């Protein structure tokens, strides 16, 4: 988890220097870990505007 970063734009968690999903800036300062398996059925995913399955940070600084 130590090298994991989160996208400031879409909150995707990645170990890349840039977000693989949207190409946005990533940050090491993030909190919370959300795994979305079925975005259609996840209330949290809907609230966060997530439309794709994946791993996300709840908060990104
Ligand atoms: Zn992104």
pLDDT in tens, 7-37: 999 999 999 999 999 999 999 999 999 999 9
**SS3 letters for 20-45?**
CCCCCEEECCEEEEEEECCCCCCHHH
pTM: 0.85
Question: Could you state, in order of their start, the residue ranges of all structural domains in the chain?
Answer: 5-60
Distance (Å) from CA 46 to ligand 1 centroid: 17
Distance 61 CA to ligand 1 centre (A): 14
CB burial of residue 34 (10 Å; 0-12, 13-18, 19+): middle
The pair of structure tokens assigned to 4 is 């994991």
How far does residue 11's CA lie from ligand 1's centre (Å)?
A: 6
Q: How far apart are the first and last CA of the chain?
A: 17
| Chosen CATH of 5-60 out of 3.30.70.360, 2.60.34.30, 3.90.1300.10, 2.20.28.90 | 2.20.28.90
Q: What is the mean pLDDT of the chain?
A: 93
């Amino acid at each position: 988890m130590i090298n994991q970063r989160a996208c400031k734009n879409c909150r995707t968690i990645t170990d890349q220097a840039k977000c693989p999903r949207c190409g946005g800036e990533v940050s090491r300062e993030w909190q919370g870990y959300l795994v979305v398996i079925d975005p259609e059925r996840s209330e949290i995913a809907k609230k966060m505007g997530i439309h794709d399955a994946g791993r996300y940070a709840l908060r990104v600084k």
